[in-house]
Amino acid sequence: MNISVDSLFAENEHAEGAVVTALNHQDIVVALSAALASERVVVLHMLYPRTDARTHRSLDALVDALHGHGLHQVARLVSQEAHYLVFKDPVKAWKAFHEIRNDSLAIGVHLYYAGLVGEPAERKLDAHAHGHE
- The pLDDT tens digits of the residues spanning 76-121 come to 999 999 999 999 999 999 999 999 998 877 788 999 999 999 999 9
User: What pLDDT, on a 0 to 100 scale, did the predictor assign at position 31?
Assistant: 85
Q: Note down the domain range covering 72.
A: 5-129
Structural domain count of the chain: 1
User: What pLDDT, on a 0 to 100 scale, did the predictor assign at position 2?
Assistant: 56
User: What pLDDT, on a 0 to 100 scale, did the predictor assign at position 95?
Assistant: 95
User: What pLDDT, on a 0 to 100 scale, did the predictor assign at position 88?
Assistant: 95
- Report the candidate in 23, 32, 101 with the shortest Cα–Cα distance to residue 62: 101
User: What pLDDT, on a 0 to 100 scale, did the predictor assign at position 1?
Assistant: 52
Residue 25 is which amino acid? H
User: What pLDDT, on a 0 to 100 scale, did the predictor assign at position 106?
Assistant: 77
